[in-house]
Amino acid sequence: MDLGWPLKVNKILKSKVPVMVSKKNAVTIGLIQTSVSDDIHRNMEKTTVKIREAANKGAQIICLQELYRTKYFPTDEKKDVAQLAETIPGETTITLSSLAKELKVTIIAPIFEVDEGKHYNTAVVIGSDGKIMGTYRKTHIPHDPFFYEKSYFDVGNSGYQIFRTPEVTFGVLICYDQWFPEAARTLALQGADLIFYPSAIGYLEGDSLSQEDWHTAWENIQRSHAIANGIHVASINRTGTEGNIKFWGASFVCDAFGRLIKRASEQEEEVVVAELDISMNKRIQDGWGFLRNRLPSTYDLINSHVLSETPKSLGYSMPAEWEKHDATWLAWPHDSVTFPRRVKKVEETYVQMILALHKNEFVNLFVTDLQAKERVTKLLKQKGVDLQRINFYLWDYADVWFRDYGPIFVLNKEEKQIAFVHWIFNAWGGKYTDLIKDTQIPTIISNQLQLNNFKAGVVLEGGSVDVNGKGTLLTTEQCLLNSNRNPHLSKDEIVRFLINYFGVNHIIWLKSGVVGDDTDGHIDNLARFVNPRTVLCAYEKDVSDENHSRLRENYEILLQSTDQDGKKLKVIKVPMPPAIRTHVRGKKTKLPASYLNFYVANKMVLVPTFGHKNDRKALRIIQDVFSGRKVIGIDCRDLIYGMGAIHCIMQQQPTVV
């Protein structure tokens, strides 16, 4: 491989490494490695002496170890350490600002910060003029035996920052951040020449892995960041034994090829001073091309902000549909297999719905490509749609059933945060394999919106559940317990997924869906919450109709059901539309028409109608329970040929209040 620079054999590594041929761009750094006592003032005095020592040895940037003036208190899960926290400005910044100005050095001081009631593991950067250049608050917070940091530190909100001095551009990450290559890459992409890692890491007696194993892994991961990004890395650790942890010291500096420049001892306090050749970075970066040849478009999973916890554990839950929306998500119809000889007519239905929706909330609309966007834009403009309220998203999706394959948004109302759950979409039990690709839609949205999201790892469609926003969820056994969804899961296991990913605590199970429903009994054709304790229920009074017995059974179950607080529900019957029979994908079937497939938008409710006398009855019932909203009937006689109606094609994005 031609790297574009002269090579020579390194006798130690026995491999080819770059020859240093250009003039050095040197900077000298100092790392302060100490043991720590219970006396914070003594710790601070000792540190200032060592800062002077580093400066006298020529250090221009001096970095202290994590929580430099206190013992590592997160060894205990719960301890009152409020007296150890300090503000900015505070004792550390006042003292070290004066020292930095006197010595004309930049100082990186990691402290236990308190700010407006929140606590952070923070690195303060003080310039050589004595002024605070900025702060970095630790982003990745561990919570393991004897490293119980989540009990003490909030997740940092500073973002990954770079600091520019006359000598070098650098970033700071703190201890546990070192295990996350994304953080180092982010700083490198912003132009960092050097990353400092102030740390407090050691060995637990009795661990199955040896101290050597842990130490080697710790050093290797940081040296790998240097290699992968073509930058220098400096890691600063404490030494000494505190409780069950033996801190191994061994602070070190490595160059942009990962080679060690200096390493401190494991047991002694030490001031490490090293001269770095920053000009080496560009030669490494240009030669290997690790930054230049990145392909971010292939890193969807990394970009999608997937959280490992469950929504419920982090305080998220799915709000009721009638709560305020920021937007409604749709995908423009284009598939002639789904809508044979009806695509143009279904497009007219979409225009009617978008015209109504966009007055009170944004419409986020998927189209397949630029050509489709131009055509749809022209059509909407002709009908009087304000295009400023339409957000277009381009992707080659298969079909329109956004309720089932799209993200299900959840809110943490206390923290005022929004995220979503990405369920697996298998096209209703594998019935239509050409539609399974749409399971990727939530990832596309995440990449666009940069939202945190959760992956349950099980199959579920949005139309199979309905919530009242207070802790109760409606669903059906026919769908969720079907062997074509999650055959490896028991009912109890599915219940746990519903509780943990929708943030509910009470589930009502109905039995079966309407005849002809290829979704295997989605709840949004059967029963819908319209307020926390009222449910509209599809009911067929004609005893000769094949839907009569199954809908009556669901109605009777609801009459005996309660909400999450044990209070009886109010159940209101809604008549069924007429039976519509036709051929779908070559098979004769009864279309799953239902008035319950309505969509609750801001200030209005869109209700499917089918050109039947029961349309008026259904609209009146729905208007009575939504007295504060305008109920609009939408003719769905063409849309229903795709085996779904209004609710099936829409997904709400709730407002963070």
Quote the CA–CA distance of 151 and 510 in Å, as a whole number: 42
Residue 628 falls inside a structural domain = no
State the number of CA atoms in the 13 A half-sphere of 493 facing the CB. Answer: 10
Q: Which of 537, 557, 575 is the last residue of a domain?
A: 575
Residues 402-433 have pLDDT tens digits of 999 999 999 999 999 999 999 999 999 999 99
| CATH number of the domain that residue 337 is part of | 3.75.10.10
- C-beta separation of 190 from 160 below 8 A: yes
Residue 597 falls inside a structural domain = no
Residues 336 and 272 both lie in one domain: no
According to DSSP, residue 537 is labeled E
Q: What's the pLDDT at 77? A: 81
Supply the pTM of this predicted model: 0.61
Residue 460 falls inside a structural domain = yes
Residues 57 and 98 both lie in one domain: yes
Residue at token pair 């100092």: 30
Residues 414 and 497 both lie in one domain: yes
According to DSSP, residue 86 is labeled B
Residues 235 and 326 both lie in one domain: no
Residue 5 falls inside a structural domain = no
Q: What's the pLDDT at 24? A: 63
- Residue 243 domain boundaries: 24-294
The per-residue DSSP string of 151-201 comes to: GT-PPP-S-S-EEE-SS-EEEE--GGGGG-HHHHHHHHHTT-SEEEEE---
- C-beta separation of 145 from 109 below 8 A: no
Number of other residues whose CB lies within 10 A of the CB of residue 424: 16
Letter for the amino acid at 502?
A: F
Phi-psi category of 555—alpha, beta or left, where left has phi over 0 and alpha has psi -120 to 50? alpha
Mean pLDDT of 264-291: 93
Residues 484 and 381 both lie in one domain: yes
Quote the CA–CA distance of 564 and 581 in Å, as a whole number: 39
Residue 348 falls inside a structural domain = yes
Helix then strand count (H, E) for the chain reads 16, 36
Residue 625 falls inside a structural domain = no
Residues 554-586 have pLDDT tens digits of 999 999 999 999 999 999 999 999 888 776 666
Predicted confidence band of residue 163 (pLDDT cuts 50, 70, 90)? very high
Mean pLDDT of 74-98: 92
Mean pLDDT of 124-145: 93
Identify the active-site residue in 63, 254, 537, 648.
648
Residues 507-558 have pLDDT tens digits of 999 999 999 999 999 999 999 999 999 999 999 999 999 999 999 999 999 9
Mean pLDDT of 180-193: 93
- C-beta separation of 193 from 169 below 8 A: yes
Residues 319 and 256 both lie in one domain: no
Quote the CA–CA distance of 495 and 378 in Å, as a whole number: 46
Residue 283 falls inside a structural domain = yes
Residues 460 and 496 both lie in one domain: yes
Annotation says 648 is catalytic: yes
Phi, psi of 320 (to 5 degrees): -65, 155
Residues 588-616 have pLDDT tens digits of 788 999 999 999 999 999 999 999 999 99
| CATH number of the domain that residue 69 is part of | 3.60.110.10
Could you give the number of structural domains in the chain? 2
Residues 130 and 184 both lie in one domain: yes
Residues 40-58 have pLDDT tens digits of 999 999 999 999 999 999 9
Residue 550, SS3 per DSSP = helix
According to DSSP, residue 250 is labeled -
Asked if pLDDT for residue 502 goes beyond 90, the answer is yes
Instruction: List b or e across 634-645, with b for residues whose CB sees 16 or more CB atoms inside 10 angstroms.
Output: bbbbbbbbbbbb
Residues 289 and 375 both lie in one domain: no
Enumerate the β-bridge partners of residue 271. 32
- C-beta separation of 43 from 64 below 8 A: no
Q: Which of 521, 551, 575 is the last residue of a domain?
A: 575
- C-beta separation of 553 from 511 below 8 A: yes
Residue 416 falls inside a structural domain = yes
Q: Which of 294, 320, 354 is the last residue of a domain?
A: 294
- C-beta separation of 174 from 136 below 8 A: yes
Residues 271 and 330 both lie in one domain: no
Residues 352 and 415 both lie in one domain: yes
According to DSSP, residue 477 is labeled H
Angle subtended at Cα 410 by Cα 406 and Cα 411, rounded to the nearest 5 degrees: 150
Residues 276 and 191 both lie in one domain: yes
Give first-to-last CA distance, the chain, whole Å. Answer: 56
